Amino acid sequence: MTSLNNSSPPLDPIPPEGAAPGDQRDHFRLQVAGTDLVFRSLTTDDPMPTGRDLVRLAGLKPIEEHVVLQILPSGDLEGLRLNETVDLRATGVEQFIIARTDRSYYLHLVDDQVEWPASLINGLTLKRLGKQNVESVAVFLVRDTDADAEIDDHEYVNLAQAGIERFYFRPIAKLVSIIVNKHPVKIEKGERSGLEIKQASIAQGVPIKPDFVLSLHKEGGQTKIIGDSDRVKVHEGQRFTAVADDDKS
């Protein structure tokens, strides 16, 4: 299990300090999110709802195809069966993740193994799961046969593939190192045009010219031509090739 953080503002706890099972409140607040970890507030008059009740309260159907995870006070995630009850009478506002799935998936996040109720997960959710400041760290996927891959906030990783995916965090650097014609080139992180990449390469001694054709190397041996005005989000370790345009005399 691992701890998570979400961007929702905390709610003021409504029960009195040390609320006992016999308290007389007629409604109980909770927060529910999907796999995007964007929480919304709900209320119920049942102090001991089941997982099935929570799915119904969230307005999700079919109920039997959803999985409920409770976020414990420690921040850990714990599965809640559809026929299992949860006590909402404790101090604070309980939080739950509810997702439609027929199975759970696992991943390694830094040093923790995490159960996740969906086959896909994106970089932003991984940062929230890891209690990270989403603006100050980058997420990387460990790859055994290639350089580790940086995962953008809205880029998804498929957890249904063979093996357990492993992720870790790094502080975001202002400059990243890319490879152009086998030469390392430092360039400012973020979206850069094809011309900016070539200009940075030339300034750092790569023997190319501004009118060379630039290509980005992608997974599976594929390449994509990047025009001078085309923009690409540069990452650490990305590989580019720049060659003379044979069509020019």
Give the C-alpha separation, 15 to 96, whole Å.
Answer: 18
Give the C-alpha separation, 138 to 169, whole Å.
Answer: 6
Non-local CB neighbours of 190 within 8 Å, separated by 6+ positions: 233, 234
* Mean pLDDT on 173-202: 93
Stronger pLDDT, 166 or 245, i.e. the higher one: 166
The pLDDT confidence band at residue 22, using thresholds 50, 70 and 90, is low
**Prediction pTM value:** 0.53
What's the CATH class of domain 105-171?
A: alpha beta
The pLDDT confidence band at residue 174, using thresholds 50, 70 and 90, is confident
Asked if domains 28-100 and 105-171 share a fold, the reply is: yes
Stronger pLDDT, 153 or 225, i.e. the higher one: 225
**Would residue 54 be called left, alpha or beta, if left means φ above 0 and alpha means ψ between -120 and 50 degrees?**
alpha
CATH architecture of the domain covering 28-100: Roll (3.10)
Residue at 163: amino acid letter: G
The percent of residues in the chain predicted with pLDDT above 90, rounded, is 54
> What is the predicted pLDDT for the residue at 24?
64
Stronger pLDDT, 207 or 77, i.e. the higher one: 207
> What is the predicted pLDDT for the residue at 23?
56
What's the CATH class of domain 175-243?
A: alpha beta
Given a contact cutoff of 8 angstroms between Cβ atoms, the answer to whether 1 and 114 are in contact is yes
Per the prediction, the chain carries an average pLDDT of 86
> What is the predicted pLDDT for the residue at 186?
95
The pLDDT confidence band at residue 189, using thresholds 50, 70 and 90, is confident
Other Cβ atoms within 10 Å of 87 Cβ, number? 11
The pLDDT confidence band at residue 78, using thresholds 50, 70 and 90, is confident
Task: Look up residue 43 and give its DSSP letter.
Answer: E
Separation of first and last alpha carbons in the chain: 62
User: What are the domain boundaries of the chain?
Assistant: 28-100, 105-171, 175-243
> What is the predicted pLDDT for the residue at 7?
43
Q: Give 110-152 pLDDT, tens digit per residue.
A: 988 888 888 889 999 999 889 898 888 999 999 888 888 889 8
Give the C-alpha separation, 51 to 82, whole Å.
Answer: 4
Give the C-alpha separation, 241 to 210, whole Å.
Answer: 13
Question: For residue 178, which of 214, 153, 222, 212 has the smallest C-alpha distance?
Answer: 214
Give the C-alpha separation, 184 to 131, whole Å.
Answer: 33
